Amino acid sequence: MEGIYQNIPRLYTALAEWAACAMYLFLLERRYSEKVTVILAVLALAVQAVLLVLTGGLPVVFWIPSMVTAVFFMYVFLYKSCRTTTMSAGYCCAKAFLLAEFAASLEWQLHTYLLAAGVRMEWFRFVLLAGVYFLVFGAVYCLEKPLQTREYLAQLSKREFFLAMMMVAFVFAFSNLSFVITESPFTSRIQADIFNIRTLVDLGGIAFLYAFQSRMCEYLAEKEVLAVQNVLKSQYEQYRSYQDSMELIHIKYHDLKHQIAGLRAETDKGRRERWIDAMEQELDANEMSIDTGNQVLDTIFGAKLLQAKKSGVRMTCVIDGALLGFMYVTDICTIFGNALDNAMESVMMLPEPEKRLIHATVSSYRGFVYIEIANYCEQELEVAEGDLPKTTKSDRKNHGFGLKSVRYSVEKYKGNVTVGIKDNWFELKILLPKQ
């Protein structure tokens, strides 16, 4: 690495690493006031610069340990100055590291190119350095901003985290392969090529990470839309059920008027008594509101019981709603709305009305809440990947989300879901730890 093909000065790398971290400070929630943050940032820059310059002269064997130390300090800087978890700080740090590699590499490539072309002015170096770093980090900042970095990080799963980590490690190894090994199909002896490989591989890695993150964001947004739709739907159903009950009340009102007239005219005491008893029974049978101990469940089940009655479905439920007090409204809607919709749709396919049976249970068992929604079913069940059954509906694009979102909601509370058919009963069982 002689002549004009010198490698990137360590100070430049330090600056790039620091600037990448600093960019994330703008995207994340800062832990301290501006003043303290600035002091921290200056301190971090000093540490990074000293560390990299000092380790610059060491032989290749120490190159990896010194890189690891540099990354570690980047992590400390990010974690200390941002209000974040260890995992999301790690994720940001990995991305910042890759970005820094890319920015430094790109800048140095342009630098050597211009140097070879004969540009030799000292001031030019600084303009180039500032310009390239500013453009790269500015562009990334603009790209990351709409990706809801904070929301995404809050929901970052272990799997995604490790995937990103692996990717960064892989890209880093690949882009620097030429500096360590010269004889391999993926490396080059020509310095210009080595720089080219490094810049392009880094760029590819960054592009992959952004594609990955934006896809994950879309996926999370889809989930949310689905949950919101469920809530809206159940609210609409509640409204409809009120409308239906109003109609029912109007009919009964007119009925009652006639009945009172009839009762007045009835002279036989015994017959009058029987008539009144019959009326009372009818009133009980039309009692539609239920009191489970949880208002959200009351709404959902109230609507479904009415719907069931209208379509000749026998729906029974033994529910201790108070047990679900720890759950969010959206999750209760998702779980019960979807499960009952599925059950209802399934039993409606049965030609014999007396077989249309649905039973729901919410009960407590030691440290658990046990939920079971079962319906009579004569169909076979096709189980798809990840042990949830495939949708039986023809419109596959819009269906089959139901059970998935049930599982998603249940897993938020560290619970479990299973589905299966036993003795002609389709059973959806959920077990949640009490909170």
Partner 1 sequence: MICIAIVEDEKIYGEQLERYLRQYQEEYQIEFKITRFHDGDEIVNGYRGAWDIILMDIQMQFMDGMSAAERIRELDRNVAIIFITNMTQCAVRGYAVDALDYIVKPVEYFSFAQKLGRAIERIRQKDENYLYIPVEDGMVKLNLREIYYIESQGHVLKYSTARGEYHVRGNMQTQEDTLSDYGFFRSHKGFLINLHYVDEVRENGCILRGENLPVSRKKRKLLMDKLMEYMHLGVK
Binding site for partner 1 (CB under 8 A): 281, 284-285, 287, 289-292, 301, 305, 314, 316-320, 352, 354-355, 357, 359, 361-363, 365-368, 370, 372, 376, 415-416, 418, 423, 425, 427, 429-431, 433
The DSSP letter of residue 394 is S
DSSP state string for 404-434: HHHHHHHHHTT-EEEEEEETTEEEEEEEEE-
Q: Is 30 helix (H, G, I), strand (E, B) or coil?
A: strand
Q: Which is nearer to partner 1, 295 or 363 (CB)?
A: 363
273 to 239, 265, 296: CA distances (angstroms):
37, 13, 39
Q: Is 246 left (phi over 0), alpha (psi -120 to 50) or beta?
A: alpha
Cβ at position 323, least distance to partner 1 in Å? 9
Distance, in Å, from the CA atom of 93 to the CA atom of 84, rounded to the nearest integer, reads 12
Instruction: Give CA–CA dist 129/12, Å, rounded.
Output: 8
The least CB distance from residue 359 to partner 1, in Å, is: 7
Pick between residue 393 and residue 412 the one whose CB is nearest to partner 1: 412
> Which lies closer to partner 1 via its Cβ, residue 182 or residue 289?
289
Distance CA 77, CA 96 (A): 12
With beta carbons less than 8 A apart as the criterion, state whether 378 and 424 touch: yes
In the bound complex, what is the minimum distance in angstroms from residue 151's beta carbon to partner 1?
25
* Smallest distance, partner 1 to C-beta of residue 304, A: 12
- Shortest CB 426 distance to partner 1, Å: 13
Complex with partner 1: residue 138 or 433, whichever CB lies closer: 433
Smallest separation (angstroms) from partner 1 to the CB of 318: 5
Phi, psi dihedrals of residue 202, rounded to the nearest 5°:
-60, -45
Q: Which residues contact 242 (CB under 8 A, 6 or more apart)?
A: none
Whichever of 45 and 347 has its CB closer to partner 1, that residue is 347
What is the C-alpha separation between 413 and 327, in angstroms, rounded?
A: 8
Task: Write down the least CB distance from residue 346 to partner 1, Å.
Answer: 15
Residue closer to partner 1, measured from CB, 244 or 320 = 320
- For 185, other C-beta atoms within 10 Å of its C-beta total 4
Instruction: Give the whole-angstrom CA distance, residue 271 versus residue 276.
Output: 9
| Shortest Å distance, C-beta 427 to partner 1 | 7
* Residue 19: CB atoms within 10 Å: 20
Q: Under 8 Å CB-to-CB from 393, ≥6 apart: which residues?
A: 345, 399, 400
Q: Between 6 and 286, name the residue whose CB sits nearer to partner 1.
A: 286
In whole angstroms, the minimum distance from the beta carbon of 394 to partner 1 comes to 29
> Residues 6 or more apart from 6 whose CB is under 8 A from it?
112
Cα distance between the two ends of the chain: 62
> Minimal CA–CA distance to 21: which of 133, 130, 128, 100?
100
Least spacing, CB of residue 326 vs partner 1, in Å = 15
- Name which of 292 and 338 has its Cβ closer to partner 1: 292
Half-sphere exposure of 401 (CA within 13 A, CB side): 16
Q: Which is nearer to partner 1, 226 or 288 (CB)?
A: 288
**Region label for 203, one of left (φ > 0), alpha (ψ between -120 and 50) or beta (otherwise):** alpha
Q: Taking the complex as a whole, how short is the minimal distance between the CB of residue 271 and partner 1, in angstroms?
A: 18
